[in-house]
Structures are given as C-alpha cells and as structure tokens.
Amino acid sequence: MGNNQPIGILDSGVGGLTVVKEVFRQLPHEEIIYFGDSARLPYGPRPAEEIKQFTHEIVHFLLDYHVKMIVIACNTATAVALETVKKEVDIPVIGVIRPGSVAAIKNTKTGKIGVIGTDGTIKSGAYEKSLTKINPKLKIESQACPTLVPLVEEGNHSEEEIRKIVLDALKPIKKFDMDALILGCTHYPIISEYIQEVVGPHVKLLSSAEETAREMSTVLHYQCLLADNANIPSHHFFTSGNKKQFKQIAESWLGKHINVEQVDITAAKSISK
Ligand code: DGL
C-alpha cells in the first residue's frame, strides 16, 4: 500500500516551482504542498540565522499538513539550514545543492564548472564543498548574481530589459572557460534561455530540479513512501506575498491552472505552536 500523504516543498518565492515542475513529471502521483515566502524575499542577502528562522517557520507550517517529506527547493536555505532542519524533524529532508552538483559532474567533460547563485549561497561555499567532495580535481568558479531573483519574481520586464540585466549579471563568469554552469538558485531556470544566450551554446546549463526529483523518488522508494493515488492529486500552493503575482508566474511556468492561498507565515507559526 502506498503513502498518499503530501510532500512539502519550500522556497523564498517562485523559484522552487522549477523543482515542482520536475516532480509533476517524474512523480505524478505525489501530492504537493508548496510554500513560497515571497513577502520576505530575497533570502540571498539575509544573515544565515534569519534564513534558518524563516525556514524553521515554513517547515512547521508544512508539518501541519502531515507531509511525509520536506524538500528545501531553495539553494540559499539549503546552504544554511538543511542540516538544522534534518535534525529537527523525523521525516526525510532533501536540499537542492547535492543534486545540482551531481547534475554538473555528470555533464562536464573538461571538469571546469561555473556556479551562479545568490550572495548567501556563493558566500557559503556550499557548491564548492559539495562538488569537490565528489571530485577534488574540479576547477570551479563561482559568482553571485543578486539582480536575477528580483527580475524573475517581479515577472513584468520586457525581453529587452531581461536580456540587459542578465548580460550585465553574467559578465564576470562568462570569462571563465567552463563547459558547465550550475544555476545555483532555483529561480534561474525560469530565465535559462536568456542565460544560455549570454554564455553560449557550448556551456551546458544545469539546474538541480531534475536530480532533486530523482533523489526524492529514490528516498520515497527506499522508505516505502511512494504514493499510489489512482488520480492526479490536487496540489496546494501558498505564498506569503502577492497572491495574484505568484499565481501568474506559477501558472505560466507550470502550464496549468492552480489555486493559490496567501498566508501570514508568522501568524501561521503561532497557530501551529
Ligand atoms: N530561490 C532561492 C535560491 O535558490 C533564493 C532566492 C532568494 O530569495 O534570494 O537560492
């Protein structure tokens, strides 16, 4: 018999939807409860302790829905809070940095890998640690791109504006002779076509979404937690920010109609305590 409890997925905003899209594809029987903390975005420049606190609040919000697994679909939160959350809860918790590193290692031929992410992720050195743990000989160049998350989250820029912002953001890393570039922020796949234009077709763009869904599938399988819902389950999307803006970006990215509820996460936390 399957386990049809939902899976909780969180991000600072719409970025984690890049993981959700892949979960829909690879694990169509799983029900998702998603929380995007758009009201407190960006997480990137915030101190680690604050990100840990926000993540803790969202994890407890998700636990109230009796989730069977938690996916921290945010690189910044994974970098600083994954280990703490793992100790705090007794269900499987998955982050996105290890899966992103695995994807890059599978795809590089030259061993020269670029990493772009938020200030928090890049400063943490989490990708370097994770990549060199698998292969210490890799050459890695990392760069923070703080302008890209607001660009995705606002969702109202013209193509020309997007092109210019992406080009400016990637100027330094473009000089690095890499054959793989890790999109080390879950927001970036949403603008991957523009990133690809700037770095050129010889650089393979890797996001953690596909590998994360694969890792989820493996863990669910080994722990006998895979769902066996006969029908496609209905999912629940929550945001702490602007519901209309979240819904618009989410529906365009996921290619389907969704229901979104706005939640005051601080109040939700006090209700759940
Ligand atoms: N999407 C998040 C990440 O993967 C963070 C964006 C932010 O809030 O700065 O890092």
> Taking 80 as the threshold, does the pLDDT of residue 1 lie above it?
no
When pLDDT is averaged across residues 145-168 and rounded to a whole number, the result is 95
Average pLDDT of the residues in 91-99: 97
Please report where in the chains the tokens 């989410």 appear, as a residue.
250
Q: Does residue 273 register a pLDDT over 50? A: no
Would you say residue 2 lies in a domain? Answer: no
More confident residue, 157 or 267: 157
Q: What is the pLDDT of residue 272?
A: 36
Q: Which residue has the tokens 């829909």?
A: 24
Arithmetic mean of pLDDT, 205-228: 95
User: Taking residues 244-266, what's their average pLDDT?
Assistant: 95
Report the length, in residues, of the chain: 273
How close is the Cα of 148 to the center of ligand 1, in Å? 10
What is the CATH number for 14?
3.40.50.1860
Do residue 160 and residue 137 come from a single domain? yes
Which band of pLDDT confidence, cut at 50, 70 and 90, is reported for residue 92?
Answer: very high
- Domain for residue 72, yes or no? yes
Of the candidates 101, 115, 164, which has an alpha carbon nearest to the alpha carbon of residue 143? 115
Whether residue 216 sits in one domain with residue 90 = yes
Question: Is the same domain home to 129 and 199?
Answer: yes
Q: 171 with 198, same domain?
A: yes
Distance 11 CA to ligand 1 centre (A): 7
| Full 3-state SS string of 107-139 | HCCCCEEEEEECHHHHHHCHHHHHHHHHCCCCE
Q: Which residues line ligand 1 at a C-beta cut-off of 6 Å?
A: 11-13, 15, 41-44, 74-76, 117-118, 121, 149, 185-187
Tell whether 21 and 63 lie within a shared domain.
yes
**How many domains would you assign to the chain?**
2
The mean pLDDT of 199-205, rounded to a whole number, is: 97
> What is the average per-residue pLDDT within 95-116?
96
One-letter amino acid for residue 200 of the chain: G
- Domain co-membership, 170 together with 89: no
Inform me whether the pLDDT recorded for 267 exceeds 90: no
204-206 sheet: strands from edge to edge:
139-144, 112-117, 180-183, 204-206
Where do the DSSP E strands lie in the chain?
7-11, 32-36, 69-72, 93-94, 112-117, 139-144, 180-183, 204-206, 236-239, 260-262
Which structural domain, as residue segments, surrounds residue 214?
7-95+210-267
pLDDT confidence band for 270 (50 / 70 / 90): very low
Q: Which of 9, 14, 59, 74 is catalytic?
A: 74
Q: Are residues 101 and 202 in the same domain?
A: yes
